[in-house]
Amino acid sequence: MLSVKNLSKSFDGNTILRDISLDVAAGETTVILGPSGSGKSTLLRCLNLLETPELGQLSIEGDTVDFGTDLTDEQVRTIRQHSAMVFQNFNLFPHLTAQQNVALAPVLNGKKSKAEAKKLAGQLLAKVGLEHKADAYPDNLSGGQQQRVAIARALAVAPDYLLFDEPTSALDPELEAEVIQVLMGLAAEKRSLVVVTHNMAFARRVADRIIFLDGGTVAYNGAPAGFFASDHARIQRFLQIFEMTDYKI
């Protein structure tokens, strides 16, 4: 269980997240939607403590931090080990091969020997369909392949929650499909996923829960069916934008 209570975050005096409270159940796929600038990335980054909120509380799998006072390195590392982030721009380590990218963290975190980590990396690359690219450097991989390596790298630290910030936004539709397929596989395995995306088909078909952010507050939190049938004006306007873009394409 991941639980956020009364979380607030501001940048340079602008409040980006206002008093957010929500729970994310383990084993579910939670999709965060919302207009640009509504604070989706910021919320996701707060869950991994890539951003530190000013106020509120975060609990993941029994570990809890209260914001408002400075966190110790120990606290940050304890909370952070429960989740791993997959970024829009992949952020693979360019000087390491696909396999080395995946194998590095388990070794540095002291969880695996080098040989074990290498084996794990091979398995995870196979899982994302890239066993044949184990020795390739990121620069020699397509965007879709890079993102799949990044997913394998995140899986390698055995996180309780996988966090995705627009994992397909930098990709062509064909490559997007590769990555979405991997995500769907993870969802089918009942892994706990929190996904920020603009892919409405994914939200509709795969999400167990939809959280809709608007202006830094939660405007919807519930089942996808209710979201897509909502008569809330703001949600309707948001969905219409996608229908129109779908239509134009």
Ligand X SMILES: Nc1ncnc2c1ncn2[C@@H]1O[C@H](COP(=O)(O)OP(=O)(O)OP(=O)(O)O)[C@@H](O)[C@H]1O
Least Cβ distance, residue 241 to ligand X (angstroms): 12
Question: Is the CB of 115 or the CB of 241 nearer to another protein?
Answer: 115
Smallest distance from the beta carbon of 40 to ligand X, in angstroms? 4
Residue of 8, 29, 30, 41 that binds ligand X (CB under 6 A): 41
Q: What angle do CA 177, 179, 181 make, to 5 degrees?
A: 70
Contact at 8 Å (CB) between 161 and 80?
no
Instruction: State residue 70 phi and psi, 5-degree precision.
Output: -65, 135
The answer to whether 175 and 143 are in contact (CB under 8 A) is yes
x/- map, 50-79, another protein, by CB under 8 A: x--------------------------x--
User: Could you tell me the two tokens for 123?
Assistant: 């398995």
Give 2's strand partners.
24, 60
Question: Strand locations in the chain, DSSP E?
Answer: 2-11, 14-24, 29-33, 55-60, 63-66, 83-86, 161-165, 192-196, 209-214, 217-222
Position 89 contacts another protein (CB under 8 A): yes
| Binding region for Mg ion (CB under 5 A) out of 36-44, 89-97, 187-195, 205-213 | 36-44
167 binds ligand X (CB under 6 A): no
Question: Which residues bind to another protein, rule: CB under 8 A?
Answer: 48, 50, 77, 80-81, 83-85, 87, 89, 91-96, 104-105, 108-109, 137-140, 153-154, 157
What residue ranges bind ligand X (CB under 6 A)?
11-12, 16, 34, 36-42
